[in-house]
């Protein structure tokens, strides 16, 4: 899926640790240890960041590699004395509950960690002024959450004072913090790690990337993405049925994707009934001889219906000069491209005396809160297990990731230095163009 290439130096992939791991992994004592439990990952095993490097380059010291994820024979924390916490941040995403459950069960059954708490409503839960109580997490309390959508721990957006968060970690004696979230959460995780380090505390921060947009670098695919594409496909099918069921029918579907159009592109490929796919990475015009409105005239004249899929961050040049402000997380608010297209398309054809039947569908919040598909639940299980392995080994300031079909440890600092995008010249966008037959929607200068 990933086509972007980033220049990465070997020293950028070094994982921070709290100290030497000297305690025998409790998994060694489990019944059947010789049947799989005793297979541990050697610290020296690493995976190339870019698998397409020239194989004739034998200078391994100059090649950037990621540390391979998995259980270590020795761990840093004494599980019997460790208190771990889990926090979910940002917006809803399918699979959050499955991931929390996987972490809790792994801590409890594989490492015998008995003191695990959930932080309520994101980073607000660390701030005493909000008054959110911690939730005790046990195998019994998470037994049935994986079949639910949303987040049973609750979530919130917006920055919170890093010093107060670390104060709470100290006060609560939390030695291992699992942070589940997107780009903003990763940035907070990096700041929390830095503050912990500056205070000389022995507390670990392990992140698991969460974003439906799938725009975090050095992650093959974020959990919830497959579920989102499947749910989006159902919305597109509804739009297509509406469009073909009326003369000059137009189905317009707005999907997630502030800066990256992965959901829109993959949903388009999953159901090739889409005629126009609009994403943030590919420029397009509304008016003019090659603009969307003209191309729609041609499409309706030829076939009598049209289906448009637009990512929420597409076409933002149409809102230049608008004072949209920022959201609670500090992100620039986007112009609502969905309603803009709905109104412009309707007025355009009305002015020309052509009756159209446009149906506008925005399933975004429904998609975010649906239960995860089996594939995503399996994926969150692996992510949760590897996050626990890393945390118990004393790794910190890192993110667990699936990269080039291997689970690896990625420094958070490296993840937040880049953003993942659909390559307009890459195979994914070429496949979308081939599936839709979509011409260029950009007027020539």
User: Which residues are identified as catalytic?
Assistant: 213
Strand 176-181's sheet: what is its strand order? 46-48, 65-68, 406-411, 398-403, 204-209, 176-181, 83-88, 115-119, 135-136
Nearest to 367 by CA among 174, 232, 245, 244: 232
* C-beta neighbour count of 328 within 10 angstroms: 10
Query: Which residue is it, tokens 């992510």?
Result: 383
- Cα angle, residue 106 at apex, residues 105 and 110 outer, rounded to 5°: 115
| Beta strands per DSSP E along 98-144 | 115-119, 135-136
| Beta strands per DSSP E along 41-171 | 46-48, 65-68, 74-75, 83-88, 115-119, 135-136
Phi, psi of 267 (to 5 degrees): -65, -35
Nearest to 265 by CA among 252, 275, 278: 278
Distance CA 267, CA 231 (A): 9
Residues forming beta bridges with residue 90, ordered by sequence position: none
Helix, strand or coil for residue 323? coil
Distance CA 252, CA 361 (A): 6
Structure tokens belonging to residue 352: 């020309």
Strand 249-255's sheet: what is its strand order? 276-278, 305-311, 249-255, 357-361
Nearest to 250 by CA among 308, 336, 314: 308
DSSP letter, residue 238: H
* Cβ atoms of 380 and 225 closer than 8 Å: no
């Amino acid at each position: 899926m990933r086509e972007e290439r980033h220049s990465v130096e070997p020293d950028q992939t070094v994982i921070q640790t709290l100290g030497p791991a000297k305690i025998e992994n409790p998994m060694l004592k489990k019944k059947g240890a010789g049947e799989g439990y005793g297979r541990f990952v050697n610290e020296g095993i690493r995976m190339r960041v870019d698998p397409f490097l020239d194989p004739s380059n034998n200078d391994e010291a100059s090649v950037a590699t990621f540390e391979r994820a998995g259980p270590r024979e020795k761990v840093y924390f004494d599980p019997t004395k460790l208190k771990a916490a889990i926090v979910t941040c940002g917006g809803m995403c399918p699979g959050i509950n499955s991931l929390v459950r996987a972490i809790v069960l792994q801590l409890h059954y594989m490492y015998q960690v008995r003191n695990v708490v959930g932080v309520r409503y994101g980073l607000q839960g660390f701030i005493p002024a909000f008054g959110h109580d911690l939730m005790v997490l046990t195998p019994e309390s998470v037994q049935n959450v994986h079949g639910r959508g949303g987040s049973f721990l609750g979530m919130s957006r917006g920055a919170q004072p890093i010093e107060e968060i670390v104060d709470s970690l100290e006060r609560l004696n939390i030695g291992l913090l699992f942070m589940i979230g997107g780009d903003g959460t990763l940035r907070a995780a990096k700041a929390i790690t830095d503050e912990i380090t500056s205070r000389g505390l022995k507390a670990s921060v392990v992140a698991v990337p969460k974003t439906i947009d799938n725009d975090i670098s050095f992650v093959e695919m974020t959990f919830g993405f497959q579920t989102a594409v499947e749910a989006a496909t159902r919305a597109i099918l509804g739009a297509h049925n509406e469009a073909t069921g009326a003369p000059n029918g137009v189905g317009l579907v707005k999907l997630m994707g502030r800066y990256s159009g992965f959901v829109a592109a993959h949903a388009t490929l999953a159901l090739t009934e889409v005629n126009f796919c609009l994403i943030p990475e590919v420029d397009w015009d509304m008016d003019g001889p090659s603009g969307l409105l003209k191309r729609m005239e041609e499409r309706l004249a030829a076939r009598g219906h049209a289906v448009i899929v637009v990512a929420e961050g597409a076409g933002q040049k149409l809102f230049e000069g608008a004072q949209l402000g920022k959201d609670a997380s500090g992100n620039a608010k986007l112009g609502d491209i969905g309603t803009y297209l709905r109104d412009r398309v309707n007025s355009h054809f009305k002015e020309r005396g052509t009756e159209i039947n446009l149906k506008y569908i925005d399933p975004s919040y429904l998609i975010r809160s649906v239960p995860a598909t089996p594939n995503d639940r399996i994926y969150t299980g692996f992510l949760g297990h590897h996050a626990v392995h890393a945390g118990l080994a004393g790794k910190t300031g890192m993110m667990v990731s699936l990269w080039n079909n291997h689970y690896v440890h990625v420094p958070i600092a490296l993840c937040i230095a880049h953003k993942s995008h659909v390559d307009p010249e890459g195979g994914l966008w070429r496949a979308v163009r081939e599936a839709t037959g979509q011409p260029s929607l950009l007027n020539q200068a």
